[in-house]
Amino acid sequence: MSIEAQTAVAPREHVVQFYADDEALVRSVSTHIGRSLLDEDVAIVVATDEHVGAFDAILLGRGVDVVQAREDGRLVVLDARKTLSKLMSHDGIDRDAFDLTVGDVLREASMSGRRVRAYGEMVALLWDAGDVGGALELESRWNALGAEVAFSLLCSYPAGSVLEPQHTDAFHQVCELHSGIVEANAETGLGQYEEARAFKYGPDAPNAARRFVAKSLTEWCIPNIVDDAACVVSELATNAVMHAASDFVVAVSARNGIVRISVRDSSVVRPIEGVSPSMATDGRGVAMIAALSTDWGAEITDAGKVVWAELACATPA
C-alpha cells in the first residue's frame, strides 16, 4: 500500500497516519481540518485537549476563524478521552454507545448537506493503553458507520508503538482496516512517499523484504538506487532473522533526495562495523551497509532496536 501525495481524503475513505512525533501530527491534522473549514465543509475532531489546543493555534495562524466555525457548527470537537470512556464496557467497545455518541454526531453533520471530514485518535489511546484488540474493534466500528454515513476519516497512531515487532499481526490488521496510509510531513502536512510492512520470522523473510523495498522504489519512480536499497534491506532483515530471531518491520521513505530504510526487531544488540560479519551470511554485513549508504545508525527502543540507513536519490517531482 503505497503513500501518495494527497490534497484531501476522498469521501468515504478511511486512512491512517503513523506519526513520528506530535509536531508532525499537529501539522498534518491541522491541514486536514483547515482544508475542510476553508472549503466550507464540516470537520469533526475527536482528539485530546492538548492536541486540540495545538490544532487551534496553527489554524488561527493560517487565518482560520475556529471560534466562528464552532459557532456555525462546521467544527465539532469531542474530547477523545471522555468520548472513549463513554464507549467502553466490560466486554470492550459498546456498539450501541458508539452509535449514539459518535454515530449521531456524524449523522447530524451529514444532514447539513456539506461534506464531512473527521479526525480521530481514540484508537491511539486504546493502543497505547495496551488494548490493541479494542483499537481494532473501534476501527471496525468506524468502518461500519462509514458504510451508512458519507464522511472521510483520518486516524492516527504513534509510529513508535504501532510498529513494534510484537504487534506484527495487529499492524497488518490496522492496515487492512484502512483504505490508505498517509505520513506526517513537517513541510506539507501530508507526505509523499512512505511505506511500512511487517514480516514474520522465517528464512524467506529477507527476500520478501527485498522485494517489498524494490517494488516501492519502482512504483515511486526511483529506480536508480533499487539495487543498492535492496542489498541494504537484505542485510538488515537477515540480521533480524539470524540474530534477533524475531518478526520485524521494514519502513522505507523517500523525501528531499534521501531514501531511508529502517528495520525494527526485538534484539537490543547494536550492529558494530568492523567486527565479525554480524549482519549477513556472506561476510559483507555492516561494512557493506556503510559503503552503500550516506549515513546509518541504530537506536535502542523499549522492545528492541531500529537499524536504519539512508541513500541519496533523485526523488520525482
All domains of the chain in start order, with CATH: 14-191 (3.40.50.300), 196-312 (3.30.565.10)
Model pLDDT, residue 11: 58
Q: Which of 63, 37, 195, 178 is nearest to 116 (CA)?
A: 37
Name the region of 205 (left: φ>0; alpha: ψ -120 to 50; beta: rest): alpha
pLDDT of residue 273: 53
* Helices within the chain (DSSP H only): 22-38, 49-61, 66-71, 80-87, 95-98, 104-110, 122-128, 132-148, 159-162, 168-176, 205-219, 226-239, 285-292
Q: Residue for cell digits 464540516? A: 42
Point out the residues of the chain with pLDDT beneath 70. Answer: 1-11, 183-193, 272-284, 302, 314-317
Per-residue pLDDT at 193 = 64
Residues 206-220: pLDDT tens digits? 999 999 999 888 877
- Give 268-295 pLDDT, tens digit per residue: 887 765 443 344 434 457 888 989 999 9
Grid cell at residue 124: 491511539
- pLDDT at position 284 is 56
- Burial profile 295-310: b = 16 or more Cβ within 10 angstroms, e = fewer: ebebeebebbbbbbbb
Per-residue model confidence (pLDDT) at position 63: 82
Cβ atoms of residues 289 and 308 within 8 Å: no
Q: Residue 265 contacts by C-beta under 8 Å, 6 or more apart in sequence?
A: 165, 239, 240, 244, 246, 247, 248, 304, 305, 307
pLDDT of 276: 37
Rounded-to-integer distance, Cα 47 and Cα 41, Å: 19
pLDDT at position 1? 34
* pLDDT, position 9: 52
Q: What is the pLDDT of residue 243?
A: 81
Q: In the prediction, which pLDDT does 280 show? A: 40
What is the C-alpha separation between 105 and 82, in angstroms, rounded?
A: 15
